[in-house]
Structure 1
Amino acid sequence: MKKPLALMIAMMMLIVTACGGNSGSDAETVDADAKDTVTVWTYPVHGTYEDELKELIADFNQEHPHITVEYEMLTWAEGPKKFDVALNAGNPPDLYFHSVDGAYVKTGLALELDSYLTDEIKNDYVPGTLELGQIQGKQYGLPLYQFQWAWGGNKRILEEAGIDWKQIQQEGWTWSEFNEAAAKLTGTAPDGTTQYALVTDGTSLDFIEMLTRNNGMPDVLNASGEFQWNDHRILDTLTFIDNLIDQGYMPKETAAIAPAKRTDMFYAGQAAIISKALPYYDVMIQNRNKDIDAGTVQGEKIEFVLLPVPHNDGAEPKTTMGGEGYVAFKQKNDKGEQHAKNTFLVMEALSGAKAGNSANELVLPFVRNSQAEYFEGKGLGTPDTIEAANMMAEHIEIPVTLSLDIDKSAQQKQFKEQVVKPNIQALFSGEKTPEQIAEDFKAKAEQMLK
């Protein structure tokens, strides 16, 4: 009797083990077609982007009806702050429209995408553009277009002052040459108010960053993480800006000028040149001119001229460019691998061929071959603007943050917010001299950029 009893026990153990194994396997099996929701936070990338986004989502849901895409359209003014709060709380959206940032990776919540990228997707990207969504070689975002920062001019005012804007587009210009032009461009606007050579807003760092890049400094740090704003180059840049205000080429109230006010001044003919200007201003101003013709907007019609940012005498011209698109995130309470895969599916849908309309609307270089093919012959910018943008792209300055380790990238971001921004506003308002600011940069860098 012992032998049959032992056999029965052994058989029972096999059955239990088998059942236990099957149970574990079932628990680990994920239903790829289970209902899921992917959240997207984005911005009004161009005038009709929300309509475009709805259409892209509708196309996606035809193939993936089980995935619900919930989007929120943020404002440019408040959106970044809202996102930072969500990220710091460990609950960012699955997809966020932005450039990739080492500070995001440092949180541990940025989703690495390399395992989801197929060869087909990789080969669709124009060489050098997929890298604009990488931090130290790892993919965290899919760029939608290559952004490009420039200055923009009012063609009438430039030509009345005898400024050869076509030559500037083709050959660039130095700070000395800009100062000579600025003296001619400063005067009285048609409405009797002051006409400034240049207007920028006092709330962002775009202006100082464009100028420092055109004076041999890629950013606060270089690609090796070495502090750059610590010698004559930063002092020269600050002095150049200070002189523009002292000479009356820029408004003395620049520190208080908001982006919308800056644009209004340009529209009113109170500024010959606006910084920063995107190639998209060409389309935006064309649409405004149509509204003026239709009688729905009052004002002078403007012909837009895209201009490169001037560079210091002896320095190389540089164009501030990079990739903007969607960056993927997971949450503190991780939703699992299938949710990550679904997030990537949505990301790809919002970045594919049809999504190239954003680059087309913004008059920016396409990042994918399929986008260029889809919108071939449908360009919205004027030939002059498209040609100027292409020439400026030959002098691209790749964003330093893509090369920095995540700690250095986070330190640079903190330095800009806590040190650079208040100092630049103090420069605009005349509260501090260029020398005082340059010294403050060096002192604070010793404390913060180690």
Structure 2
Amino acid sequence: MAGTIAAVSALGMTAVLGGCGVTGGSPDVTLKLVAADYGDSKANSSQKYWDKLVEEYEAENPGVRIDVSVYSWNDVDRKVREMVAAGDPPDMAQIGSYAGYAAQNQLYKADDLLSIPVQADFVGQLASAGQVKGVQYGMPFASSTRVLFYNKALFSEAGITPPKTWDDLAADAEALKAEGVTTPYALPLGPEEAPAETMQWMLSGGGGYTDTVGSYGIDAPENVDTFSWLKTELVGKDLTGPVAPGELDRADAFAAFAEGEVGMVNGHPSLMNIAAKKGVKYGMVPTPGKEGTSKSTLGVADWMTAFRKNGHRDQVGDFLDFVYSEKNVLAFSREYDLLPVTTSASGTMAASDQDRHLRPFLEELLTSELYPVGKTSWADVSAEIKQRIGKAVAPGGNPSAVLGQLQAEASRAENAE
């Protein structure tokens, strides 16, 4: 995305700006909110979204002031950690993870804060992903899914149709290579996007990061089969690029697609704008699976949390009820081409011609699976995946051995929770 490069949220959104929110008179209560920036320039900084929302809320609630600080994804999680470590947490933080704070009993439960209609309005998968041991602490704030993007011009030149299965995808990649396409399929298993691309492929092969009881199952036979196929049928046949998968980051894969050099790549909504700005005509289809369209796809979310230390539970809850109104959820989602986290806003978006470009992603949300973010071990496991998973498909790599090593690390981390 445009702008100076910045960290990537769970949604893959970049952010570049920081700042402080609105100020006002002498309220009875001041609530501090730390939020992440989803914009890629000053013109669409999230600060503008929050300033407008807070102005409206404070006009209706003169006894409450909301002090908003917006930080880039480079800084927001670290900033909140530093505030917590200093004994001065914000009242609310809109960040990338919540489980560690929940495990330390620092967060309000969602049902301590939100009205019943608001809490019940969260999309089911997202609400479940916000739980630790069956209790919701993380309130989804923004969400996204993945679909397969393909370059229509390159497909037309090769005389091929979008894939529905792995075999279709491999055949299409071979045809694109024969036409001289630089990168038939971009496989970003580099540190930036590795956990997402890995999970997307695992799901398409009938596996995933966890088993049916919620424990890590990284080296499950289905996952080993998936990465063995990738290594043999795509990487081993020189159908990926432009660099080795373990060295390819998502941003570079997206940029190459936007330059017309990539035939296919898994992508989230922001790729639509990136490609359109470069004039690339693209199509989108559900993720191909082993024997047909994948039964599940990757869903991702960022989280709103509320810290208990400063109290003000009633005021925090009332403000968050306002934040999660259909109007405000839709406004945020439309500003940044993200998916609504509430059922009501999702229904409105699905029926609106204004949002038709997001329908393929909305349709995937109902069958999506999210990272195991309710595990305090997930941050460490995700870091290990970023460092190691590319080796599974590298020349001389052993998918079974690499996934087995990751499973061993995950089991140790899980047992330490």
User: What TM-score bracket applies, with the shorter chain setting the length?
Assistant: 0.7 to 0.9
Question: Residues 150 and 74 (structure 1 numbering): CA distance in 2 closer, same or farther, change over 3 Å?
Answer: farther
Of 353, 358, 361 in structure 2, the residue corresponding to residue 389 of structure 1 is 361
- Matched-pair identity in %: 16
Q: Is residue 433 of structure 1 aligned with residue 411 of structure 2?
A: no
If the length of structure 2 is used for normalisation, what is the TM-score?
A: 0.77
Query: Unaligned stretches of 5+ in structure 1?
Result: 1-31, 289-298, 403-408
Q: Is residue 349 of structure 1 aligned with residue 322 of structure 2?
A: yes
User: CA shift at 1:253, angstroms?
Assistant: 3.2
Question: Residues 210 and 92 (structure 1 numbering): CA distance in 2 closer, same or farther, change over 3 Å?
Answer: farther
Q: Is residue 302 of structure 1 aligned with residue 299 of structure 2?
A: no
- Higher RCO, 1 or 2 (CA under 8 Å, sep at least 6)? 1
Q: Distance in 2 between matches of 1:411 and 1:83?
A: 19
User: CA shift at 1:429, angstroms?
Assistant: 5.5
Q: Distance in 1 between matches of 2:84 and 2:78?
A: 10
Which residue in 2 is equivalent to 1:13?
A: none
Which residue in 2 is equivalent to 1:150?
A: 147
Q: Distance in 1 between matches of 2:186 and 2:347?
A: 34
Q: Is residue 279 of structure 1 aligned with residue 269 of structure 2?
A: yes
- 1:363-378 equivalence runs, <5 A: 364-365=339-340, 367-369=342-344, 372-373=347-348, 377=352
1:215-239, Cα deviation, whole Å (9 max, x unpaired):
22232x2352333123422222222
Question: Residues 137 and 237 (structure 1 numbering): CA distance in 2 closer, same or farther, change over 3 Å?
Answer: same
1:256-287, Cα deviation, whole Å (9 max, x unpaired):
33333222211111111223x1134335544x
Q: Highest CA radius of gyration, 1 or 2?
A: 1
If the length of structure 1 is used for normalisation, what is the TM-score?
A: 0.72
3-state SS of paired residue (2:280): coil
User: CA shift at 1:328, angstroms?
Assistant: 1.9
Q: Is residue 444 of structure 1 aligned with residue 416 of structure 2?
A: no
Moved more, 434-443 or 125-134: 125-134
Q: Is residue 264 of structure 1 aligned with residue 237 of structure 2?
A: no
Q: Is residue 114 of structure 1 aligned with residue 105 of structure 2?
A: no
Question: Residues 188 and 69 (structure 1 numbering): CA distance in 2 closer, same or farther, change over 3 Å?
Answer: farther
RMSD: 3.4
Q: Distance in 2 between matches of 1:196 and 1:102?
A: 38
Query: Unaligned stretches of 5+ in structure 2?
Result: 1-25
Of 246, 259, 266 in structure 2, the residue corresponding to residue 255 of structure 1 is 246
- Whether the 8 Å CA contact 1:199–1:271 is kept in 2: the answer is no
- Whether the 8 Å CA contact 1:154–1:273 is kept in 2: the answer is yes
Q: Distance in 1 between matches of 2:36 and 2:142?
A: 14
- Whether the 8 Å CA contact 2:77–2:95 is kept in 1: the answer is no
- Whether the 8 Å CA contact 1:42–1:74 is kept in 2: the answer is yes
Question: Residues 353 and 267 (structure 1 numbering): CA distance in 2 closer, same or farther, change over 3 Å?
Answer: same
3-state SS of paired residue (1:379): helix
Q: Distance in 1 between matches of 2:356 and 2:37?
A: 22
3-state SS of paired residue (2:376): helix
1:14-58, Cα deviation, whole Å (9 max, x unpaired):
xxxxxxxxxxxxxxxxxx961313122213168734322221121
Q: Is residue 228 of structure 1 aligned with residue 222 of structure 2?
A: no
- Whether the 8 Å CA contact 2:288–2:294 is kept in 1: the answer is no
User: CA shift at 1:420, angstroms?
Assistant: 2.3
Which residue in 1 is equivalent to 2:11?
A: none
- Whether the 8 Å CA contact 1:353–1:368 is kept in 2: the answer is no
Which residue in 2 is equivalent to 1:312?
A: 290
Q: How many correspondences in the alignment? A: 381
Question: Residues 88 and 222 (structure 1 numbering): CA distance in 2 closer, same or farther, change over 3 Å?
Answer: farther
Larger helix fraction of residues: 1
Of 371, 375, 386 in structure 2, the residue corresponding to residue 421 of structure 1 is 386
Which residue in 1 is equivalent to 2:201?
A: 211
Which residue in 1 is equivalent to 2:67?
A: 70
- Whether the 8 Å CA contact 2:96–2:303 is kept in 1: the answer is yes
Moved more, 422-431 or 110-119: 422-431
Q: Distance in 1 between matches of 2:260 and 2:345?
A: 40
1:43-98, Cα deviation, whole Å (9 max, x unpaired):
31687343222211211121234433333333334544444555556544332334
Question: Residues 225 and 123 (structure 1 numbering): CA distance in 2 closer, same or farther, change over 3 Å?
Answer: closer
Question: Residues 449 and 35 (structure 1 numbering): CA distance in 2 closer, same or farther, change over 3 Å?
Answer: closer
Aligned AA (1:37) = L
Q: Distance in 1 between matches of 2:391 and 2:47?
A: 37
Which residue in 2 is equivalent to 1:294?
A: none
User: CA shift at 1:130, angstroms?
Assistant: 4.6
- Whether the 8 Å CA contact 1:145–1:364 is kept in 2: the answer is yes
Which residue in 2 is equivalent to 1:54?
A: 51
3-state SS of paired residue (2:140): strand
Q: Distance in 1 between matches of 2:404 and 2:126?
A: 37
3-state SS of paired residue (1:410): coil
Q: Distance in 2 between matches of 1:141 and 1:412?
A: 15
Aligned AA (2:49) = E
3-state SS of paired residue (1:423): helix
Q: Distance in 2 between matches of 1:281 and 1:398?
A: 20
Q: Distance in 2 between matches of 1:104 and 1:367?
A: 24
Q: Distance in 1 between matches of 2:319 and 2:401?
A: 49
- Whether the 8 Å CA contact 2:129–2:372 is kept in 1: the answer is no
